[in-house]
A and B are shown apart, each in its own frame.
Chain A
Amino acid sequence: MASFAREVAYRIFAQELRDTAVALERDLEDVYAPQYVLSPTGAKINRVFVVGTLTEKEDIGTDAEYWRARISDPTGTFFVYAGQYQPDATRGLADASVPEFLAVVGKIGVYTTEDERVMTSIRPETISVVDAETRNRWILETARQTLDRIKELENGSSPHLEMITEHYSLDLEQYRQMVASALESLQ
């Protein structure tokens, strides 16, 4: 029986998303099994919810609208692409201007470069313009959830500890710094 439980949207800062380089193997029997990535602090992610500032947007489509947007939080930047198959996201991006705060819900896309580096992108489902309060709350929430993941790794209670040690250097200090700098930007 196929399952269609909705995946939770993880809160993750741009810097950690950029560093994410482990794509989990999909169930070979089920081509519709969700793709997960494992982030350096141990989040097993299929979907994300991120809030940041739109710093660039460009319609790079030839026939139909196809938007490329850069979105930045206090720790870094990620790309988002939206076209005719993401009508809600496309409408949201078309309505937004630089710079404005955007809330993005989307799935993590994974690709491997020729030198076998795993790269991630966000395939947006919805994009909406939000206010500074929402952005601040997102930073606070993302700081909280990231710190909780760091602590789980440190005290050995993370379910993904083994894979994290195998694939990432367990230098969690840089992510503590990241959380601190994101919070300090709110002060």
Chain B
Amino acid sequence: MIQETSEQIQKRFLELNAEIELQEIERRIRDLVERFKVPEAEAERSVVSYFLREHNLKREDYYGAPDGAAPIQISGINQAEQWVNLRAKVTQLWDSTSPAISQVGLIGDETGTIKFVKWTKSNLPALVEGKSYSFENMTTDEWQGRFSVKMNRTTRISELDEEIVTPDMEAQLIEIDNINESGKWINLRAKVTQLWDNEHESIDQVGIIGDETGTIKFVKWARSELPPLAEGKSYSFENLVTDEFEERFSVKFNKSSSITELDEEIVTPDMEAQLIEIDNINESGKWVNLRAKVTQLWDSEHESIDQVGVVGDETGTIKFVKWAKSELPPLEEGKSYSFENLVTDEYEGRFSVKFNRSSSIEGLDEDIEVGYATAEFAGAMVHIQDGSGLIRRCPICNRALMKGTCMEHGNVEGTHDLRIKAVMDNGHEVQEALFNREITENVSGIALDEAKEMAVDALDHSVVLDEMKKRLLGRYYTMTGSVLDRYLLVESVQLLEAIPASAIDAILQEVT
């Protein structure tokens, strides 16, 4: 088979006036198939490409001309910096966040919706929500894997007589317990059981609503311009959209949502707080009591937050947030307390507890011993975060310097250190892992002195990080360490090497 293929390749190249030795073709194909486990057709293609380049020939010469087509529907937009034409309906207009932008929002066609940005400089006519247009000469853009279109001076817009149909979204009245899909338009009859402080100006209100069957988080965007909700009141809500994150659902209000207050009161399920251990917190929106010690107080990053940090009990530690408006006494680092009526929350798969107005805090005489959970993780290193490699630390407080500056002590002469902030992934879970200098030196084979020399030679610190990425990314490691918030503080790490033949056989037996 390989021999026949090789002969065909040789013959085709001869037709193009290129002479190649048959054995050379065969050797290359065999290497790809046998050592690199590449399918035969792919090996053939790879070898043909190689010889095309060797003989300065074009792919078209060998295979015939290629054909290309430009996407003209929204779902076909998959590349930035392309010029596109679309026929689409303006489904949403948002508030512009910058004077450079005259309009921003979503346009949609039969295949989907996409964000658009219309520059003020473009001098284009104003778009009206709900109307359909033909857009010509827009450019595509991409940010963090999501596409948008930009309307500029060369863009042409003309209104269409027909209406472009966008994906269906008729809302239905359902019960909260039945919400099990994201992206659905729904109506609810529910009571606002909690209002939280929002952490972002784009959010008008956020909290929990509940009906007879359960409770769910809601988010009301500032731009949806809806009347304010009051805690404890019951409403009929129309045209909310469900969302899902890590299998937890929420509902979101938008411009087409409506809110009507109800005369009756909706009864929500009981939510009496129970004393639990931190390690057992595995659900958000639960009311809990804790007996725990404040192990860390962090700097609050927002005036709505009074205190933020970590509390711990014998079973583990958890982040807490104490809102300014909950008006509770200050917590001291190192002191143990009894906490009542906290609400659990979840973000990025990690839990926290939040204090609210009905929470209470009582100091304990005893000293709670905090247990740090240790964990083990095996997986591939899929990312190394910024701030890894050769870094400098503040000689006073040991913080990592940012652009040569300590956040606390300003411009200081930093001392060099090595660390890696890695993201490990086993196909089911992601784990961030922090390697200190010793672990970093072991795993990368680059000692601190060597790293400093590399940086001096290249006149650039980033060569160390680049080299570490080259040596570590894509490899499998197993590691153990203690858990602190979202990090595994790695105490030992090992490269996973050859797999045993028995492991292959075991799965093969299951397959067949």
Contacts and interface: CB of A to CB of B under 8 A. Distances in A.
Contacts of B91: 28
A178 to B, nearest CB: 9
14 contacts: A1-B347, A29-B252, A33-B146, A56-B49, A88-B469, A99-B31, A103-B380, A105-B383, A110-B78, A111-B77, A137-B476, A145-B428, A176-B511, A185-B37
Contacts of B148: 31
Given A109-B78, A110-B75, A99 B106 contact: no
Interface string A109-125: 11111100010010101
Given A3-B348, A128-B474, A55 B38 contact: yes
A23 interface: yes
Nearest to B240: A29
A150 to B, nearest CB: 9
B259 interface: no
Interface string B380-399: 10110000000000000000
A166 to B, nearest CB: 14
Contacts of A136: 498-499
Interface in B179-198: 182-183, 198
Contacts of A92: 470, 473
Contact of B32 (A5, A53, A85, A126): A53
B475 interface: yes
Contact of A130 (B36, B246, B475): B475
Contacts of B114: 31
B241 interface: yes
A156 interface: no
Interface in A2-32: 2-11, 23, 25-32
Contacts of B92: 28
B60 to A, nearest CB: 14
A126 B469 contact: yes
Interface of B: 31-32, 36-39, 42-43, 45-46, 49-50, 69, 71, 73, 75-78, 80, 91-92, 106, 111-115, 142-146, 148, 167, 169, 182-183, 198-200, 203, 206, 219, 221, 241, 243, 245-246, 252, 254, 347-349, 380, 382-383, 423, 425, 427-430, 466, 469-470, 472-476, 496-499, 501, 503-504, 507-508, 510-512
B78 A101 contact: no
B474 A180 contact: no
A112 B75 contact: yes
A136 B499 CA distance: 7
B427 to A, nearest CB: 5
Contacts of B349: 5
Interface of A: 1-11, 23, 25-35, 49, 51, 53, 55-56, 58, 70, 72-77, 85, 88, 91-92, 95, 98-99, 101-105, 107, 109-114, 118, 121, 123, 125-126, 128-130, 133-141, 143-145, 147, 176, 179-180, 183-187
B75 A23 contact: yes
A176 B254 CA distance: 45
Contacts of B383: 6, 105, 125-126
Given A23-B75, A72-B42, A139-B37, 6 more contacts: A7-B430, A31-B115, A49-B427, A111-B77, A128-B472, A183-B504
Given A72-B42, A128-B470, A134 B504 contact: no
Contacts of B466: 91
B54 to A, nearest CB: 12
A27 B241 contact: yes
A140 B503 contact: yes
Contact of B499 (A8, A58, A91, A137): A137
Contact of B470 (A56, A95, A179): A95
B243 A27 contact: yes
A98 B50 contact: yes
Nearest to A28: B113
Chain A interface helix/strand/loop/mixed: mixed
A26 B243 contact: no
Nearest to B48: A56
A117 to B, nearest CB: 11
Contacts of B144: 32
Contact of B507 (A34, A109, A147): A147
Contacts of A11: 427
A72 to B, nearest CB: 4
Given A95-B470, A130-B474, A133-B498, A140 B146 contact: no
Nearest to B432: A6
Nearest to A120: B78
Nearest to A135: B37
A92 B470 CA distance: 7
Contacts of B470: 92, 95, 128-129
Given A35-B146, A110-B75, A128-B473, A183 B37 contact: no
Contact of A1 (B146, B203, B475): B203
A53 B37 contact: yes
Contacts of A130: 474-475
Contacts of A28: 91-92, 106, 113, 169, 183, 241
B481 to A, nearest CB: 19
A28 B203 CA distance: 16
Contacts of A186: 37, 504
Contacts of A1: 198-200, 203, 206, 219, 347
A180 B511 contact: yes
Nearest to B42: A72
B39 A49 contact: no
Nearest to B465: A88
Nearest to B206: A1
Contacts of A25: 112, 167, 183
B508 A180 contact: yes
A183 B507 CA distance: 8
Contacts of B75: 23, 110-112, 118
A53 B38 contact: yes
B106 A49 contact: no
